[in-house]
A = this chain, B = another copy of it.
Amino acid sequence: MSIVVQKYGGSSVSSTEKIKNIAKTLIKRKKQGDDLVVVVSAMGDTTDDLITLAKGISNNPDKRELDVLLSTGEMMSCALLSMAIKELGYDSVSYTAYQVGIKTKGQYGKCLIDDIDSTKIVESIKEGKVVIVAGFQGINEKGDITTLGRGGSDTSAVALAVKLKGICEIYTDVDGIYSVDPRKYKNAKKLDFIDYEEMLELSSLGAQVMHSRSIELAQKYEIPIYVGLSNSDIKGTIIKGVNKMNLESKPITGLATSDDDIAVTLRDIDANINILSNLFESVGSKKINIDMISQTAPINGKVNVSFTIPRDEQKECMEIIKNFSKMQNISIDDDVTKFSVVGIGMKNTSGVAAKMFRVFSENDIEVKMITTSEIRITCAISQQDKTKAIEIAAKEFYL
């Protein structure tokens, strides 16, 4: 008998019918002898609806009050799931973050979990109850209600699993983690296992199955996470440490693409790192996410710098960039797809980049920009080459 912390996403609880189905699944599991702590997201589009309501008051709603407002979404789904379990004759109790002391630090809207007082949860488990906890929310040192940012319920679940020394299961509307997004490549293979770091890279590259922070937390405390379909017997994927995995020899585990960015190049700017640092600081202060920064070696004290910016923040971003370069020296390329391959095996495999660039070249795929990390290679390519690039890389790396 062990404590199992499960998390159900918004699409899994989008109607009372679906909530009733989850209640049945939980009772089946409970009967197998596991103690259940269940984290639920807000029903379907509830969070978006609440944000729309707040926008009716202000274009820039006060963040403390927005957190109070948004926290109600998870309270509703929690109460309804607990009701559904009791309706089936089993005992259950729902708790808000306030009630179980999910203490957070940081700014409203994107707080980090600091600690959880598990007393009430453990008591309720001992009483035989299925414990339902509102995800995505916490309280800060002032006793204010806070939220953890989009997808924060994943982090709530992992943090509870850490605190309760339980295992963690994330149920969602996908049946596991794929080497390539199956909507983009029909032959994509589902992974039985994936390493934390690989999953982190994939998450940050737009394969948004999981909240990145939840994976970092799981990695830190070595909590394995199961990701799978809710109300289904289809086997999902386990995210865990590579030292615990029967690592296959292939260097690349996954592949991700994103069309969300455009490339900006600044030509002939002074080769002075202060200028760039000021530029990136200015952009960063607006919470705009710059990526794929690359700089060529200086010629006559001048350098060219390229980077990507989010497509939908182009206007705001250009306002800032204009202060750092002459307009005629700024060029924009909006025909950009970020194409990444990720693999923990890459650390021990030479030539992955070389192999990839060779097959791209053989297939006339222009590589516009390149950046790499220890376990990731990202290229900017033209959007028209995306499908071809996915097929080639998937075949080349057996994904």
Contacts and interface: CB of A to CB of B under 8 A. Distances in A.
Nearest to A15: B56
Contacts of A50: 76
Contact of A53 (B68, B80, B86, B145): B80
A20 interface: yes
A96 interface: yes
A84 B79 CA distance: 28
Given A75-B71, A76-B72, A83 B62 contact: yes
A269 interface: no
Given A62-B87, A86-B62, A145-B96, A68 B79 contact: yes
Count this chain's copies in the assembly.
2
Contacts of A82: 62, 65, 68
Interface residues of A, number: 39
B96 A83 contact: no
Given A62-B86, A75-B71, A75-B72, A80 B54 contact: yes
A10 to B, nearest CB: 15
Interface in A216-254: none
A94 interface: yes
A380 interface: no
A61 interface: yes
10 contacts: A16-B53, A53-B76, A57-B80, A57-B84, A58-B86, A58-B87, A68-B78, A96-B145, A99-B144, A99-B145
Interface of A: 15-17, 19-20, 50, 53-54, 56-58, 61-62, 64-66, 68-69, 71-72, 75-76, 78-80, 82-84, 86-87, 93-94, 96, 98-99, 120, 143-145
Given A54-B80, A57-B80, A68-B78, 18 more contacts: A50-B76, A53-B76, A53-B80, A54-B79, A57-B83, A57-B84, A58-B83, A58-B84, A61-B83, A61-B87, A64-B93, A65-B82, A69-B76, A69-B80, A98-B99, A99-B143, A99-B144, A120-B143
